[in-house]
Amino acid sequence: MSELKKIKSALISVYHKDGLDEIIAKLDNIGVKFYSTGGTKDFIEGLNVAVTAVEELTSYPSILGGRVKTLHPKVFGGILARRENEGDISQLAQYEIPEIDLVIVDLYPFEATVASGASDAEIIEKIDIGGISLIRGAAKNFNDVVIISNQGQYASFYDLLESGNGLTTLEDRRRYAVEAFATSSHYDSAIYNYFAGEWPAHFRQSFNSAKHLRYGENPHQQGVFFGNFDAMFDQLGGKEISYNNLLDIDAAVNLIDEFTDTTFAILKHNNACGCASRDTVLDSYLAALAGDPVSAYGGIFVTNRTIDKATAEEAGKIFFEVIIAPDYHTDALEVLRSKKNLIILIRKNVDLPAVQYRSVLNGTIMQNRDLKRETDQDLQPVTKISPDSKIINDLLFANRLVKQSKSNTIVLAKGKQLLASGVGQTSRVDALRQAIEKAKSFGFDLNGAVMASDAFFPFPDCVEIAFNEGIRSVIQPGGSIRDKLSIEFCDSHEMSMVITGFRHFKH
């Protein structure tokens, strides 16, 4: 079997024609015979290049409103015939079927049509039949046929034509075949998910873009990000994004989205080590940093406001890996870019997916993203003393933090500032003690602070410990059969407690 193959004939039928003219001209220069349909045929003729209509080849017109154009043995026979198989070549001659060495085809824009809000009937008409069949047929016969399955391949294919003058290697053809099967499988997944709805019976998710990472969670592991990072962020500087960077960035974005006030957060290993809401970005940063200036080293910085020069200068006094903001003042960027390898990200106005997936055991689990953000209307006072408006604001602030921290979690806050948190503990008591010890180590006065828990208190021990440290108000989901014990302790010690009814576990 000869590995090098010369392109002598091409079937071209595309929806997107931008960039196609240079390829047509190059193929014409090396003597390629063209077959085409409809608008693509008109486009080729407009370039003063000879082209044979598929209808002339098949002796059948385009029928059913264009639904059937290329689905014919004289088309697919020429694509699927094995050039080294005498029987296949004999049948081509018997039925006067020309060999087709190159197929350039793209698909109707199904996903774009769905995204546009089009009607069900319009969407169904954008389910490509002939195109997907041509892609699969040409890809199956990659030993002999080149398949160009999307517009994004035009540039690389033109370069291949330039360098090889119409000759392709088996490696070239196989590479394009792999991309073709990726195109067809992604297309079918999109169609399935449209019909299956929000909770499908089968797992079919597909991403067309892959970002190879420096390594995985550890240097001896490989890592790839499947998704469109550039759709969410503009990276203005710094080194390549790592696997661990992505996990931290995801945690940072989820956390900052909990707040509408001017807020700055500092994260380490997916958990907030500092967070504060203030009138200015600078004041928010300084208060967030005060929460744990030790853990902030090497952390992820995120805010929901534009970074100014003063904030950039203060932040620049310590080492951190990533900073995320909706925008930056020009002079702030100059300061930040002076820090070698700092990853500077502008967050675009793109919503996170409503559904989350996670690999477990030999499968995948799926759930709705936790979009519940409690307001004062969700709080149910259950003690004799009710918190005032200032305390309610602190309770809500702490509750947003506890929601985005690893369970078991306790958050201590005061004046819309994270004082300390205990995260990822096997015991809620241990989480509270960790938070208390940490807050005290940085000189915080816990008198008047609030405590938030991501799940209910099965015993009143945490409430009692908190009281002994000067904490007088608690927010928790409730739901324990022993809630009454914690409430009774609060009532007997003049503490307030509110219940949200919403648990926020995070593993």
Copy the structure tokens of residue 205: 């998710």
Calculate the CA dihedral of residues 386, 390, 394, 396 and round it to 10 degrees. 70
**Which residues are registered as beta bridge partners of 343?**
322
Instruction: Give pLDDT, residue 295.
Output: 95
* Predicted confidence (pLDDT) per residue in 215-234, tens digit: 999 999 999 999 999 999 99
CB 475 within 8 A of CB 379: yes
**C-alpha dist (Å) from residue 122 to 118, 304, 435:** 6, 39, 57
Assess contact for 131 and 39: CB atoms under 8 A: no
Beta-carbon contacts of residue 84 (< 8 Å; ≥ 6 apart) = 1, 143
Burial class of 247 by CB neighbour count within 10 A (0 to 12, 13 to 18, 19+): middle
Record the tokens describing residue 366, joined without a space: 């799926």
> Which range has the worst mean pLDDT, 71-80, 243-252, 258-267?
71-80
Q: How confident is the model over 364-369, as a mean pLDDT?
A: 87
Distance (Å, whole) CA 245 – CA 342: 12
Cβ neighbours of residue 230 closer than 8 Å, sequence gap 6 or more: none
Question: 189-203, 357-371, 462-476 — which one is most confidently predicted on average?
Answer: 462-476
- Is a pLDDT exceeding 80 seen at residue 477? yes
Average pLDDT, the chain: 92
The whole-angstrom separation of Cα 49 and Cα 36 is: 12
Instruction: Give the model's pLDDT for residue 310.
Output: 97
Which of the 8 DSSP states describes residue 65? G
Asked about 493 being catalytic, the answer comes back as no
CA dist 286 and 317 (Å) reads: 12
Relative orientation angle of helices 130-140 and 170-196, to the nearest 10 degrees: 140
pLDDT in tens, 135-178: 999 999 999 999 999 998 999 999 999 998 989 999 999 999 99
Over the stretch 85-132, which tens digit does the pLDDT of each residue have? 999 899 989 988 999 999 999 898 899 999 999 999 999 989 988 889
pLDDT tens, residue by residue, 453-464: 998 888 899 999
Known active-site residue 5: no
Give 309-314 contacts, CB < 8 A, sequence gap 24+.
Answer: 309/335, 310/282, 311/281, 311/282, 311/285, 312/336, 314/282, 314/285, 314/286, 314/289
State yes or no: pLDDT of 297 exceeds 50. Answer: yes
Residue corresponding to tokens 């020009």: 330
Q: Once rounded to an integer, what is the mean pLDDT over residues 341-367?
A: 90
* Least confident range of 196-200, 383-387, 435-439: 196-200
Torsional class of 448: left (φ above 0), alpha (ψ -120 to 50), beta (otherwise): left
> Residue 1 has what pLDDT?
47
How far apart CA 395 and CA 400 sit, in angstroms, is 9
Q: Are 300 and 252 in contact (CB under 8 A)?
A: yes
Q: What is the torsional sign of CA 324, 329, 332, 338?
A: positive
Q: State mean pLDDT over 334-352.
A: 93
Tokens 């201590």 correspond to what residue? 412
**Is 401 exposed, middle or buried (CB count within 10 Å of its CB: 0-12, 13-18, 19+)?**
buried
390's torsion region: left (phi>0), alpha (psi -120 to 50) or beta?
alpha
Average pLDDT on 264-286 reads: 97
pLDDT for the residue numbered 2: 55
- Enter the tokens of residue 406: 């690893």
Q: Which of 140, 329, 339, 493 is catalytic?
A: 140
pLDDT tens digits along 4-36 = 899 999 999 998 888 899 999 999 999 999 999
Determine which one of 6, 26, 211, 269 is catalytic.
269
Range with the poorest average pLDDT among 363-372, 412-421, 439-448, 498-507: 498-507
Within 10 Å of residue 20's Cβ, how many Cβ atoms? 21
Which of 431, 378, 374, 380 is closest to 398 using CA atoms? 374
Q: What is the pLDDT of residue 128?
A: 87
Classified as helix, coil or strand, 180 is helix
41-46 long-range contacts (CB < 8 A, ≥24 apart) are 43/17, 44/12
* Residue among 426, 231, 237, 450 at smallest CA distance from 344: 237
User: Which helix (H) or strand (E) is 360 found in, with range?
Assistant: strand 355-360
Tell me how far apart the alpha carbons of residues 387 and 394 are, in angstroms, rounded to a whole number.
Answer: 10
